């Protein structure tokens, strides 16, 4: 309707203006005119002003609007479940003790390289947890989460019973500068499995409880939500090894020796 009005009446309106007047010559001297002359000009251009107002109003009304997305027609399998993030595993008492070290390399999700106060560099294996090895599913996620928690920061290394593992690495619980118990946090985030390393079992029961919570919540890449992965429900296996052999909760190359207790991984 608006366009029809403009096409039909705008030419007539412009035709009614005096021959020696254009819209430009009308506006420029407008403020310097006497009152009676001003009234005459306003009468001449009133239809143009009306049309301009209508056009501007139309432009404003046709702006983009934010329309809420309607998900009512989505199939249940297409709707992504909401998975709450794990709470931070704060342990001020534990994190107040131990040896201070500077992290300079993230090896993977459960191993780091640190520099001690005396300048000695050590490789440290986290006690009580196990993350995927390089080339396995979830390796990248576990390594990145570990890096977010402690990369290039000062940490505390807390000893349990053992000093080193069979590979010569220090075995420790790790706390970051915010008093986050990193070993527990990685399990709670669903990027590490709880694993009982005897005789270092001080927090083994806590880690296992955190793993069950992560599984129930479908949290992290190790525990895909059963609502979106039907193949993950109804099975006791946390990982199926098809390109290697079972070792604890993980899969390792056939040529590598396994020094872990039986876990939840299954041979595929």
User: How do 250-252 and 193-194 pair as beta strands?
Assistant: unpaired
Catalytic residue, from 133, 141, 156, 172: name it.
133
DSSP structural state of residue 68? -
Distance CA 20, CA 206 (A): 92
Catalytic residue, from 115, 169, 196, 260: name it.
169
Catalytic residue, from 125, 145, 156, 219: name it.
125
Contacts of 192 (CB under 8 A, 6+ apart): 109, 110, 129, 130, 131, 142, 183, 186, 222
Angle at 30 between CA 24 and CA 36, to 5 degrees: 135
Helix 35-61 vs helix 2-15: angle between axes, to the nearest 10 degrees? 160
Burial annotation 154-167 (CB, 10 A radius, 16+ → b, else e): ebbbbbbeeeeeee
Contacts of 131 (CB under 8 A, 6+ apart): 108, 109, 110, 138, 139, 142, 143, 146, 186, 191, 192, 193
DSSP structural state of residue 97? S
Q: Is 92 one of the annotated active-site residues of the chain?
A: no
Distance CA 221, CA 141 (A): 7
Contact 176, 145 (CB under 8 A): no
Q: Is 125 one of the annotated active-site residues of the chain?
A: yes
Q: Is 144 one of the annotated active-site residues of the chain?
A: no
Catalytic residues: 125, 133, 169
């Amino acid at each position: 309707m608006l366009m029809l009005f403009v096409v039909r009446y705008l030419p007539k309106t412009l035709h009614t203006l005096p021959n020696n007047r254009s819209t430009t010559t009308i506006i420029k001297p407008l403020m310097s005119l006497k009152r009676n002359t001003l009234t005459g000009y306003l009468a001449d251009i009133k239809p143009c002003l009306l049309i301009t107002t209508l056009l501007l109003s139309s432009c404003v009304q046709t702006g983009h609007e934010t329309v809420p997305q309607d998900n009512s027609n989505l199939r249940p399998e297409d709707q992504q479940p909401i998975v709450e993030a794990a709470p931070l595993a704060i342990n001020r008492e534990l994190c107040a003790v131990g040896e201070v070290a500077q992290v300079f390399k993230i090896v993977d999700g459960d191993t780091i390289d640190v520099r001690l106060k005396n300048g000695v560099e050590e490789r440290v294996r986290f006690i009580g947890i196990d993350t995927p090895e390089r080339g396995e599913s979830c390796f990248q996620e576990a390594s990145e989460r570990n890096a977010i928690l402690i990369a290039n920061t000062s940490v505390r290394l807390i000893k349990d019973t053992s000093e080193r593992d069979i590979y010569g690495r220090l075995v420790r619980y790790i706390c970051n500068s915010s008093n986050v118990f990193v070993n527990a946090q990685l399990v709670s985030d669903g990027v590490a499995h709880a694993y009982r390393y005897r005789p270092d079992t001080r927090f083994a029961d806590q880690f296992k409880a955190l793993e069950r919570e992560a599984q129930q919540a479908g949290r992290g890449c190790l525990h895909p939500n059963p609502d979106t992965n039907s193949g993950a429900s109804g099975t006791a296996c946390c990982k199926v090894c098809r390109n290697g052999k079972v070792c604890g909760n993980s899969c390792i190359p056939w040529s590598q020796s396994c020094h872990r207790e039986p876990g939840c991984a299954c041979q595929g």
